[in-house]
Amino acid sequence: MQDMQTIIDKINTLKKERNAVILAHNYQRSEVQDIADFVGDSLGLSQQAVEQDVDVIVFCGVDFMAESAAILSPDKTVLIPEIDAGCPMAEMVSVESLKKVKKEHPNAVVVCYVNTSAAVKAECDICCTSANAVEVVNSLDDDEILFVPDKNLANYVAKHTDKTIIPWEGYCPTHHQILAGDVLLMKEEHPNAEFLAHPECRDDVLEIADYVFSTTGMTKYVGESDCKEFIIGTENGLLHKLELENPDKKFYPASEYAICPNMKMTTLAAVLNSLENMEHVVTVPENVRIKAKRALDRMLDIKLSK
């Protein structure tokens, strides 16, 4: 068995040889975040995938994120170190089920969260992330929106728009581990802390949040705030970045159970294997890629107001 430093050294050498960049989502293991060139949210990482002048992208995240990179950067080789890292929420909508519901709402525009497969994106009009969902919906001329697959994000958006939102019945099992009762106990224990929640959280959790943000929104807010203590209502991997960037501030996870097993599958050994053996190459059939890219491009064309 190789020690951690040997693995890290090999990763860095191979990264140069392959002209590769390592992207890691905010929910990855701390040691994987530490060797990444960029750590960020779904939107930020897809943009990095396009901007980086490299041959290979090693995407430490779950499958839909690596697929988004492959859709946007077809000239690059996109690798996912852990082939089984999927997203249970993304799997709650299939092409067949979406086609059926679209028929029931022929006038609705379909907005899909990036947490969907490439094939589902290809059936949608425009994508969004948790960072821009409200802006994306409000940018549309249409009044009826079928929003897939996260019902919590859909309900959050519905509170910030005059449009009619038809939510899909999907949810993130990890964010559902965060319960309002536990948050209230944490608030009692840390009365000076602000509670920041991700819009994938349950409605009653969002109701008691001081602020609702994507992971990037949380990172920015914490960096700029004068507050010194925060209860963090999202997957607990984000605490690593928050603690590194804000050594003078304190962070408490809203729930010790908010851990995404799929995000934690990727180890340093898997990253090394990925670069050594160029595994696992993520490809999207060209007919699907072109249609899915349209939905992603429409999202990326919208200028964020914050």
Q: Name the site residues for ligand SF4 (rule: CB under 6 A).
A: 27, 62, 87-89, 115, 172-174, 235, 260, 262-263
- The verdict on 152 binding ligand 13P (CB under 6 A) reads no
Burial 62-87 (b: 16+ CB within 10 A, else e): bbbbbbbbbbbbeebbbbbbbeebeb
- The verdict on 214 binding ligand 13P (CB under 6 A) reads yes
Q: In 10 A of CB 244, how many CB atoms?
A: 12
Identify the burial level of 93 via C-beta atoms within 10 angstroms of its C-beta, where 0-12 means exposed, 13-18 middle and 19 or more buried.
buried
- The verdict on 215 binding ligand 13P (CB under 6 A) reads yes
In whole angstroms, the minimum distance from the beta carbon of 44 to ligand 13P comes to 8
- The verdict on 117 binding ligand 13P (CB under 6 A) reads no
Among 52, 116, 130, 236, binds ligand 13P (CB under 6 A): 130
Q: Cα(88)–Cα(82) distance, rounded to whole angstroms?
A: 15
Q: Which does 270 bind (CB under 5 to 8 A by kind): ligand 13P, ligand SF4, none?
A: none
Q: Which does 262 bind (CB under 5 to 8 A by kind): ligand SF4, ligand 13P, none?
A: ligand SF4
Q: Which residues contact residue 151 at a Cβ distance below 8 angstroms, ignoring those fewer than 6 apart?
A: 167, 168, 169, 170, 171
Q: Cα(80)–Cα(52) distance, rounded to whole angstroms?
A: 17
Q: Which does 32 bind (CB under 5 to 8 A by kind): ligand 13P, ligand SF4, none?
A: none
Q: Cα(47)–Cα(37) distance, rounded to whole angstroms?
A: 14
Q: Which residues contact residue 224 at a Cβ distance below 8 angstroms, ignoring those fewer than 6 apart?
A: none
Q: Which residue is nearest to ligand 13P (CB)?
A: 41
Specify the residue, 237 or 268, whose C-beta has the smaller distance to ligand 13P: 237
Contact, 226 vs 211, CB < 8 A? Answer: no
- The verdict on 200 binding ligand 13P (CB under 6 A) reads yes
Q: Footprint of ligand 13P on residues 165-194 (CB under 6 A)? A: 172
Specify the residue, 114 or 275, whose C-beta has the smaller distance to ligand 13P: 114
Q: Which residues contact residue 196 at a Cβ distance below 8 angstroms, ignoring those fewer than 6 apart?
A: 209, 210, 211, 212, 213, 218, 221, 222, 230, 231, 232, 233, 234
Q: Which does 88 bind (CB under 5 to 8 A by kind): ligand SF4, ligand 13P, none?
A: ligand SF4
In whole angstroms, the minimum distance from the beta carbon of 87 to ligand SF4 comes to 3
Q: Cα(181)–Cα(173) distance, rounded to whole angstroms?
A: 17
In whole angstroms, the minimum distance from the beta carbon of 2 to ligand SF4 comes to 28
In whole angstroms, the minimum distance from the beta carbon of 175 to ligand SF4 comes to 6
Q: Which does 129 bind (CB under 5 to 8 A by kind): ligand SF4, ligand 13P, none?
A: ligand 13P
In whole angstroms, the minimum distance from the beta carbon of 133 to ligand 13P comes to 10
Q: Which does 130 bind (CB under 5 to 8 A by kind): ligand 13P, ligand SF4, none?
A: ligand 13P
Contact, 241 vs 26, CB < 8 A? Answer: yes
- The verdict on 39 binding ligand 13P (CB under 6 A) reads no
Q: Footprint of ligand 13P on residues 77-96 (CB under 6 A)? A: 87
In whole angstroms, the minimum distance from the beta carbon of 297 to ligand 13P comes to 18
| The length of the chain, given as a count of residues | 306
* Alpha helix positions (H), 52-92: 63-72
- What residue has token string 């898997």? 270
Catalog residues that contact ligand 13P under the rule CB under 6 A.
26, 41-42, 87, 115, 129-130, 172, 200, 214-215
